[in-house]
A and B are shown apart, each in its own frame.
Chain A
Amino acid sequence: MLKYILKRLLIMVVTLWIIITLTFVLMVSVPGSPFNSEGNSNEIVQQNLAKHYNLDKPYHVQYLLYLKSIVTLDFGPSIKQPNQTVNDLLGRGFPISAELGIVTIIVAVISGITLGILAALRHNGVIDYLAMGIAVLGISIPNFIMATLLIDQLAVQREWFPVATWKSPMHMVLPVLALATGPMAIIARLTRSTMLEVLTQDYIKMARAKGLTPWKIIVKHALRNALMPVITIMGTLVAGIMTGSFVIEQIFAIPGMGKYFVESINHRDFPVIMGTTVFYSAFLIVMLFLVDIAYGILDPRIKVAKKEGE
């Protein structure tokens, strides 16, 4: 097991290095500079700025500087917000995005699985059509439309919730709803289809024959196997949602880290591009690793460790 984990860790480091290198190559090959604001300027000022951020150095030196900053986990100051380091920005933004993300995931998983099970149990019944109708809507309505609808209906027309900003649990309701609909719908559809498949298996019939209660059959026997595909998508889903959504954070004025993924590229804010890329990749890789381990626990047929170890 230990050997397996070490091997995975090594692969993770190599993957990260490849991602960093590719990002750097892309970053320097895109035209534009961080100092192209619409404001006025002159050559001397531009030179001073380039020098200040080491952008006047040859590419290989810049690359080594980036590698150094990643190894020391100190990405230096943001170019767009020079008085904030990248660590400040991510350190402040991530907890907020993560808080929103965790609540969203909990909501999406619970409601998605419930919908999926209900739909599967009442296959081709009214509940099934209703649940899948909700799921199709959830998948096809983009979250920014959902967000705008929610604000208009629940915050402006009815004043039940605040429009935006990030101050109290009440402020969290609308963004969570807007963010959770999509994943919820996906999870519901996945759960439904695998549940339907599992419910026709022999061992379920066996369980029924033994006279187990329907509740026990579903929770103990069916659900466990039906969850495998859900676990598979959880890795990417968790990494994606917890690192923030650009659109939702912008619409609800949430000070999370989602915006940095997009804005850093628009501004050519190189340290922030590097910081967000490394952070997201590392997070995603770790999540995928956890998913692999979770497989092993949920499904005894998958023995990650042994297969590798033997």
Chain B
Amino acid sequence: MKKLLFLLIAALTVFFLAACTANNEAGEDPEEKENVEEPADNGETTDEESGSDEKVLRLNNGTEPSSLDPSIGFDAVSWDPLNNLMEGLTRLDADHRAAAGVAEDWEISDDGLTYTFTLREDAKWSNGDPVVAADFEFAWKYMLNPETASAAAFLGYFIEGAEAYNSGEGSVDDVKVTAVDEKTLEVVLAAPTGFFLDVLTNPAFFPINHKVAEADPNWHTEAETFVGNGPFALESWKHDEEMVFVKNEHYWDASAVKLDKVHFAMVNDSNTQYQMFEAGDLDTASIPPELSDQLIDGDNVFIGPYGGLEFFRFNLEMEPFQNKKIRQAFAFAVNRDDIAQYVVKNGVEPAYGFINPGYTSPSGQDFREVNGDLVTFDPDKAKQLLEEGMAEEGYDELPAITLSYNTSDTNKAVAEALHGMFQEHLGVEVTLENQEWNVFSEAQKALELQFSRSSFINDYNDPVNFLESFITDSYMNRTGFSSEEYNELIATGKSATDEEERWNALFEAEKLLAEEMPAFPIRYYNTVVLEAEGVEGILRHPVGYFDLKYADKK
């Protein structure tokens, strides 16, 4: 009996050890490649690489990209790599405007509906294939296919027939994207869309090499099979660990690309990535919240705008927020300067309107400047509005109010600051409540929360992106707000062929939103990055993702 037991355990041990050795060997294979360039045993890569002439930039992507399939990866951790591995018809330039990418030129019909793109002759995939119009047609139809279940598909609804196809009612043949010939792509839109060229910079509209994808639907899952058309090519990809990009020699504008290699680490801890930056293992890093006060004023800090807004939603279907004046009262009782400066910190800007600065109108002015401050900090006005509102509703006492937010340290600090401001300036005691993100999000969508935190990150470079959220029954509305006038303004703001008219409608829409106040703004988002000495030229666009095409490391 004992012998049997002994044998059993011995067998298990052997099996176990064998499994471990096998793993070790398997693990070493991809590492060998690395060892060629980084022979140091201690894993310090710095000396060796800066010793050679290669320009290597070491960044942190935070986590593994959700997907490098441009139709599927619909988040920042996928967009940042994708934007440097691939290129759409248009690409954002140094002024954050859509400029020529794979498309060298385009024509827009007079009714603003038909776009005819001419692709560059020298646009090539990283495997040497030419980038053809059929690659775009393939990619977009794949994105819109309901079976693909792309989270980005709604961005494609600007195209005629796209919404019907994506909802399962229409046919793929009615999606008006046509490869006329190898280098000509024709797109017909559902309605004129003045910012369509901006929308096209989103990775969801990147091409897919249709020959590669048809042969291997999983082409995008490993470095060996990945084929891109951007400034960089994917050299290696150790999942959850590191991606290495090399300069793509087949890129049409390869001469503009200065870096030889880019390493993307996947370090998901803000302190660790900061310490790696300090130790010289990373060239850029974010600032850990605890160190914000200490580091934010340093010379090596890049602070730029980021297209997004933190705001609070009222639920118009719950008392007392059916009343406009009560909503306004709460909005005017908030000292946004204090919140930005002392609560959120990190150099963020307070928001006195819904649309962040950075959108240039046809007349060359900034959207924010034209519309000015729509909601300010005015305790007297707030108090008066509250009294008027309560009188209108016949309240002697305000119904109990609960302010909800999704659990996070910053959100908590902001909520507590608001609690204090409402108490001080309105004499109202709100109850604070925090919930885990998913629970919170479901409740907010179902209009179960009375007064709740929200954030919005732009998908494309136009004010309508945010403003459209508040049209009647929009999936993003989540306030119960509904106004015919507002819907009409947004319809014009989306589809007027005359840009002047379109922007005027958007100005009016924002004003109306501030007047009705179904939500009030708190602060704009920003990008704060520590950059090591010698790092230059990383384009950080307010909307979306960064661009390493012109980046350099001296």
A residues sitting closer than 8 Å to B (CB atoms) are 1, 30-33, 35-49, 51-53, 80-84, 88, 92-93, 95-96, 98-99, 102, 148, 151-152, 155-156, 159, 161-168, 170-171, 250-253, 255, 259, 266, 268, 290, 293-294, 296-297, 305-306
Q: List 15 A-B contacts (CB under 8 A).
A: A31-B439, A40-B476, A46-B475, A47-B167, A48-B153, A83-B72, A88-B239, A151-B272, A156-B275, A163-B275, A166-B241, A170-B41, A253-B269, A266-B438, A290-B9
Q: How far is the CA of A228 from the CA of B475 in the complex (A)?
A: 60
Contact yes or no, B43 A83, CB < 8 A: no
Contact yes or no, A83 B437, CB < 8 A: no
Q: How far is the CA of A168 from the CA of B34 in the complex (A)?
A: 11
Given contacts A41-B475, A255-B240, contact A83 B281 (CB under 8 A): no
* Residues from chain B with Cβ under 8 Å of A52 in the complex: 147-149
- Inter-chain pairs besides A42-B476, A165-B241, A167-B34, 10 sampled, C-beta below 8 Å: A1-B1, A30-B439, A32-B436, A40-B456, A40-B459, A48-B146, A48-B147, A156-B278, A255-B239, A294-B9
* Residues from chain A with Cβ under 8 Å of B449 in the complex: none
Q: Can you list, as one digit per residue, whether each of B51-77 has a CB less than 8 Å from chain A (1) or not (0)?
A: 000000000000010111100101100
Q: How far is the CA of A130 from the CA of B459 in the complex (A)?
A: 60
Given contacts A82-B72, A162-B281, contact A32 B439 (CB under 8 A): yes
A297 contacts which of B9, B43, B443 (Cβ < 8 Å)?
A: B9
B271 CB–A CB distance under 8 Å: yes
Contact yes or no, B268 A253, CB < 8 A: yes
Most chain B beta-carbon contacts within 10 A, residue among A45, A171, A306: A45
Contact yes or no, B269 A163, CB < 8 A: no
Shortest Cβ distance from A99 into chain B, in angstroms? Answer: 7
Report the 9 A-B pairs with minimum CB-CB distance, sorted nearest first: A32-B438, A52-B149, A255-B240, A95-B23, A253-B267, A36-B441, A42-B475, A168-B43, A48-B149
Shortest Cβ distance from B198 into chain A, in angstroms? Answer: 15
Contact yes or no, A297 B5, CB < 8 A: yes
CB contact list, B268-289 vs A, under 8 A: 268-269, 271-273, 275-276, 278-279, 281
Contact yes or no, B150 A45, CB < 8 A: yes
Shortest Cβ distance from A36 into chain B, in angstroms? Answer: 4
Smallest CB gap from A147: residue in B: B272
Smallest CB gap from B308: residue in A: A38
Given contacts A33-B438, A95-B26, A253-B269, contact A293 B8 (CB under 8 A): yes
CB contact list, B184-204 vs A, under 8 A: none
* Residues from chain A with Cβ under 8 Å of B150 in the complex: 45, 48
Contact yes or no, B154 A45, CB < 8 A: yes
B341 CB–A CB distance under 8 Å: no
A99 contacts which of B20, B218, B266 (Cβ < 8 Å)?
A: B20
Given contacts A39-B75, A48-B146, A164-B267, contact A83 B166 (CB under 8 A): no
B107 CB–A CB distance under 8 Å: no
Contact yes or no, B42 A162, CB < 8 A: yes
Contact yes or no, A48 B166, CB < 8 A: yes
Q: How far is the CA of A47 from the CA of B168 in the complex (A)?
A: 10
Contact yes or no, A251 B8, CB < 8 A: no
CB contact list, B463-478 vs A, under 8 A: 465, 469, 474-476
Q: How far is the CA of A170 from the CA of B66 in the complex (A)?
A: 30
Contact yes or no, B66 A82, CB < 8 A: yes
Contact yes or no, B153 A92, CB < 8 A: no
Shortest Cβ distance from B374 into chain A, in angstroms? Answer: 22
Contact yes or no, A98 B23, CB < 8 A: yes
Shortest Cβ distance from B26 into chain A, in angstroms? Answer: 7
Smallest CB gap from A256: residue in B: B240
B442 contacts which of A33, A167, A170 (Cβ < 8 Å)?
A: A33
Smallest CB gap from B476: residue in A: A40
B33 CB–A CB distance under 8 Å: no
B400 CB–A CB distance under 8 Å: no
Contact yes or no, B149 A99, CB < 8 A: no
Given contacts A31-B438, A95-B27, A156-B275, contact A168 B41 (CB under 8 A): yes
B455 CB–A CB distance under 8 Å: yes
Given contacts A36-B442, A164-B276, A171-B43, contact A251 B24 (CB under 8 A): no
Given contacts A83-B67, A156-B275, A251-B271, contact A162 B149 (CB under 8 A): no
B residues sitting closer than 8 Å to A (CB atoms) are 1-2, 4-6, 8-9, 12, 20, 23-24, 26-27, 31, 34, 41-44, 64, 66-69, 72, 74-75, 146-151, 153-154, 163, 166-168, 218, 220-221, 238-242, 265-269, 271-273, 275-276, 278-279, 281, 436-439, 441-443, 455-457, 459, 465, 469, 474-476
Contact yes or no, A168 B241, CB < 8 A: no
Shortest Cβ distance from B204 into chain A, in angstroms? Answer: 11
Q: How far is the CA of A92 from the CA of B64 in the complex (A)?
A: 13
Given contacts A33-B442, A36-B441, A253-B265, contact A51 B66 (CB under 8 A): no
Shortest Cβ distance from B171 into chain A, in angstroms? Answer: 16
Q: How far is the CA of A83 from the CA of B213 in the complex (A)?
A: 14
* Residues from chain B with Cβ under 8 Å of A255 in the complex: 238-241, 266
* Residues from chain A with Cβ under 8 Å of B476 in the complex: 40-42
Q: How far is the CA of A148 from the CA of B24 in the complex (A)?
A: 27
Q: How far is the CA of A84 from the CA of B276 in the complex (A)?
A: 28
Contact yes or no, B24 A99, CB < 8 A: yes
Given contacts A168-B42, A168-B43, A251-B271, contact A41 B154 (CB under 8 A): yes
Smallest CB gap from B60: residue in A: A253
Q: How far is the CA of A37 from the CA of B72 in the complex (A)?
A: 13
Shortest Cβ distance from B551 into chain A, in angstroms? Answer: 22
Smallest CB gap from A43: residue in B: B475
Q: How far is the CA of A125 from the CA of B272 in the complex (A)?
A: 40
Shortest Cβ distance from B511 into chain A, in angstroms? Answer: 23
Most chain B beta-carbon contacts within 10 A, residue among A42, A102, A162: A42
Shortest Cβ distance from A206 into chain B, in angstroms? Answer: 25
Smallest CB gap from A171: residue in B: B43
Q: How far is the CA of A40 from the CA of B465 in the complex (A)?
A: 10
Smallest CB gap from B16: residue in A: A102
Shortest Cβ distance from A43 into chain B, in angstroms? Answer: 6
Q: How far is the CA of A192 from the CA of B9 in the complex (A)?
A: 27
* Residues from chain A with Cβ under 8 Å of B20 in the complex: 95, 98-99, 102
* Residues from chain A with Cβ under 8 Å of B438 in the complex: 30-33, 36, 266, 268
Q: How far is the CA of A262 from the CA of B279 in the complex (A)?
A: 29
Contact yes or no, A290 B12, CB < 8 A: yes
Q: How far is the CA of A255 from the CA of B239 in the complex (A)?
A: 8
